[in-house]
Chain A
Amino acid sequence: SQTIHQWPATLVQPVGSPLSLECTVEGTSNPNLYWYRQAAGRGLQLLFYSVGIGQISSEVPQNLSASRPQDRQFILSSKKLLLSDSGFYLCAWTDRASGRSYEQYFGPGTRLTVT
């Protein structure tokens, strides 16, 4: 069966510090991968998506970046965090082999607090 991992689960970082969040998927190959951010009481904001290794599309201009160094690994980074980067970060994947159903499977999330 497929599993998606995210770490760390929680993170407290000062403004201006770097960030690296990692997401890995097991039990599938060539998935579409997504990074979302959810502010308190808000919906999910799509940040980045990837259809393959090294292929990243950005949805929202910001100080964040994403990379996909391996087929089932997706990394979210920042060189200098802002207070507005605080939120709940979720990684998700879809199985393109399932056709157009595109059920999204989410990881457990990372709670980031920038102080």
Chain B
Amino acid sequence: SQKIEQNSEALNIQEGKTATLTCNYTNYSPAYLQWYRQDPGRGPVFLLLIRENEKEKRKERLKVTFDTTLKQSLFHITASQPADSATYLCALEATTDSWGKFQFGAGTQVVVTP
């Protein structure tokens, strides 16, 4: 069955450093991969989408890579700030159906300390 794995351990990082999160998947051939941010008690917020034919995508201090051979995506937060503290979820397109159905990873918590 399809499986998505994100590091369940919280990532503690000092302000100004780069946080790197991993999303691994098996039994998938997704055309799209998304990253979301979720704050406690809130719904996830969309951050970035990367397509299978894109190796890298950037948005401000965020960078996402997508390696379909390794079946892995890396999510980087550069020059991290305490406000970046949150849980980050990856989501993969579950099927090739046209309407868009995604499966989410459990998320990795990031804690940025001053």
Q: Footprint of B on A, CB under 8 Å?
A: 32, 36, 41-44, 46, 49, 51, 88, 90, 92, 94, 96, 100-109, 111
Contacts and interface: CB of A to CB of B under 8 A. Distances in A.
Contact of A108 (B36, B42, B46, B106): B42
Contact of B41 (A32, A100, A109): A109
Interface residues of B, number: 25
Interface stretch (B63-71, B73-81, B94-102): B94-102
Interface of B: 4, 31-32, 34, 36, 41-46, 49, 89, 91, 93, 98-107
Contact of A107 (B43, B49, B93, B98): B43
A43 B91 CA distance: 10
Given A44-B89, A100-B32, A101-B49, A106 B99 contact: no
Given A32-B99, A46-B102, A104-B102, 17 more contacts: A43-B104, A43-B107, A44-B44, A46-B101, A49-B99, A96-B99, A101-B49, A102-B32, A102-B49, A102-B93, A102-B102, A103-B34, A104-B34, A106-B43, A108-B43, A109-B42, A109-B43
A92 B42 CA distance: 12
B100 A102 contact: yes
A43 B100 contact: no
A71 B50 CA distance: 29
Contacts of A36: 104
14 contacts: A41-B106, A43-B4, A43-B89, A46-B103, A88-B41, A100-B31, A100-B32, A100-B98, A102-B49, A102-B93, A102-B100, A103-B34, A103-B46, A111-B41
Nearest to B8: A41
